[in-house]
């Protein structure tokens, strides 16, 4: 039997470097994860946690102020290995479509898995909703997540750059775009036979 379809809306926050010897060879690591699992248009699970970085455990001042996140919060987070296990678990029962705003989340997850010698935890189609949004509205520039939601006349959920809030906001935009797509789907073009009632026309000439 074919497995049910699940949409996973994922947002990660990452570490950021500073110009310093400490950050030589730097690559971004996930320090907060927000995941919303949706089956049949219903949120069946949401997950939120800080994640302790492995290779560059000390956060830069830039990272702390930009994300409004503290060293203590990430130090008390789950391990990256635990995050990978959680993603594996959430994706294991379903056919997955993974939806993110931008392509960085999946790129950083793949890189972090490689750097830590762990297998990539979820398989499925990946959608970069920011590109879908850009194509759909014909925008020249890629729009930020919260700007996109405001363009819809809505407000984002919670706080920007909080992973779960951003994942929920991504889900909101996904639903709005899907509704608009349905609305814009053109009906099949009518044939000339549908447009002209031939019986009436023939009566005229009878």
Which domains does the chain possess? 5-205 (3.30.420.10)
Among the ranges given (66-70, 102-106, 140-144, 172-176), the one the predictor scored with the smallest mean pLDDT: 140-144
- Per-residue pLDDT, 114: 98
Q: Which of 4, 13, 126, 132 is catalytic?
A: 13
Of 88, 126, 160, 161, catalytic:
161
pTM attached to this predicted model: 0.83
Residue 160 annotated in active site: no
Tokens for 163, please give them: 């992973």
**Dist CA 74 CA 156 (whole Å):** 24
Show the tokens assigned to 173: 């935009």
**Mean pLDDT on 168-178:** 89
Look over the chain and give the mean of its residue pLDDT values, rounded to a whole number. Answer: 86
CA distance 140 to 35: 29
The answer to whether the Cα torsion of 99, 105, 108, 113 is positive or negative is: negative
Signed CA dihedral, 134, 140, 146, 147: sign only: negative
CA of residue 185 relative to chain centroid, distance: 24
Q: Is it the case that residue 133 has pLDDT exceeding 70?
A: yes
Residue among 5, 52, 9, 15 at smallest CA distance from 34: 9
- Is residue 155 part of the annotated active site? The answer reads no
């Amino acid at each position: 039997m074919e497995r049910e379809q699940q949409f996973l809306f994922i947002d990660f926050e990452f570490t950021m470097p500073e110009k310093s010897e400490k950050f030589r060879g730097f690559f971004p690591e996930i320090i907060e994860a927000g995941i919303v699992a949706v089956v049949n248009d219903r949120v069946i699970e949401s997950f939120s946690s800080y994640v302790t970085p492995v290779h560059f455990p000390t956060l830069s001042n830039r990272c702390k102020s930009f994300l409004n996140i503290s060293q203590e919060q990430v130090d008390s987070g789950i391990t990256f290995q635990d995050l990978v296990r959680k993603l594996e678990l959430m994706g294991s029962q379903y056919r997955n479509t993974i939806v993110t705003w931008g392509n960085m989340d999946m790129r950083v997850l793949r890189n972090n898995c490689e750097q830590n010698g762990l297998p990539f935890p979820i398989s499925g189609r990946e959608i970069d909703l920011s590109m879908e949004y850009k194509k759909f509205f014909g925008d020249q520039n890629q729009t930020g997540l919260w700007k996109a939601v405001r363009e819809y006349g809505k407000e984002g959920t919670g706080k920007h750059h909080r992973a779960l809030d951003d994942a929920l906001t991504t889900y909101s935009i996904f639903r709005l775009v899907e509704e608009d797509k349905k609305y814009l789907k053109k009906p099949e073009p009518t044939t000339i036979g549908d447009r002209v009632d031939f019986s009436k026309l023939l009566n005229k000439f009878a």
